[in-house]
Amino acid sequence: MDNNTISIMGNSKNKSAVEKGAEVIFTSCGLLAVLAVVSITGYMIVSGAPALMQVGIADILFGSVWKPASDPASFGILYVILTSVVGTLMAIVIGVPVGLFTAIFLAEVAPPRLAAAVRPAVELLAGIPSVIYGLLGVLILNPLMYKLEIRIFEGSATHQYSGGANLISAVLVLALMILPTVVNISESALRAVPSHLKSASLALGATHMQTIFRVLVPAAKSGIMAAVVLGCGRAIGEAMAITLVSGSSVNIPLPFNSVRFLTTAIVAEMSYAEGLHRQVLFTIGLVLFIFIMAINVGLTRLFKKGEAKND
């Protein structure tokens, strides 16, 4: 009989071969991820830094005029950076309370049946492709925003009408998109709070709401912060949805201005850009990369802090 299956119970020779083999496979998989991160970092720096030097760091980062195709060209991305920062913060300000309250609802308030209906809905939200968010934004959000814009700026001589494609539209889409991240992570953090804390609080006579806000949320703080930071990362890295709804003109990030984010700045002009213009787009990529790296480092710190506290 021909027996091709390798069994670790067979003999010591097979056993050690399987052990070694598995070890090699796991190590190489681990190295692959490291290799990817290192090579991407290297590539971003190599392709993003030359333009930074050529145009001048201050001219790129703090210049407010973006005219890449004119002569002489001007590559100021200050407004673009500001838009990404302001847009992300606003999305967090809107998305985090809603997400946190949803998480509290799911973990504490909702009857099990209702929670069983809401949770999949939230998770489904995470599975919707971002371009769908963008399309819905164009079809539903932008026309509504335009009506609002016309009402607010009626008679204004200086306002440039953006047709509803503005910062608020982008922020609302972003806030919706970070919801699943915030809800899921906050909910697990809330559920991970040891039950004796809750029991003690209730036994001392605190109401359910007092217990939630005075005991559970503070105890789950590090997990909730992680949710916020992850949401931040998702929001700042999102391109497809907001490129459709934000109008994509480089402007100061005011609510009713058409704006361009770091991500959309790259997406919008990569197809025809050439020479220095193209290099500057890579520099924008580098700036975005640094932002996201900073967020990730912050996140790791937060986790470590949380762990130390729990120990």
Binding site for other proteins (CB under 8 A): 66-70, 138-139, 142-143, 146, 150, 153, 157, 160-165, 243-244, 247-250, 258, 260, 267-269, 271-274, 277
Contact 92, 235 (CB under 8 A): yes
Q: How far is the CB of 243 from other proteins (least distance, A)?
A: 7
| Peptide bond preceding 255 in cis form (omega within 30 of 0) | no
- Amino acid letter at 88? T
- For tokens 């109401």, the residue is 207
What is the four-CA torsion angle of 261, 262, 264, 268, rounded to 10 degrees?
120
Q: How far is the CB of 169 from other proteins (least distance, A)?
A: 12
Residue 128 has phi, psi (to 5 degrees) of -75, 130
Residue closer to other proteins, measured from CB, 93 or 252: 252
What is the Cα Rg of the chain in Å? Answer: 25
Q: How far is the CB of 137 from other proteins (least distance, A)?
A: 11
Residue closer to other proteins, measured from CB, 11 or 158: 158
CA gap 273, 270 in Å, rounded: 5
Residue closer to other proteins, measured from CB, 125 or 240: 240
Residue closer to other proteins, measured from CB, 10 or 129: 129
Residue closer to other proteins, measured from CB, 107 or 288: 288
CA gap 222, 230 in Å, rounded: 12
Q: How far is the CB of 70 from other proteins (least distance, A)?
A: 4
- Amino acid letter at 297? V
Which residues face 259 on adjacent strands? 247
Q: How far is the CB of 138 from other proteins (least distance, A)?
A: 7
Q: How far is the CB of 72 from other proteins (least distance, A)?
A: 10
Residue closer to other proteins, measured from CB, 38 or 144: 144
CA gap 207, 232 in Å, rounded: 33
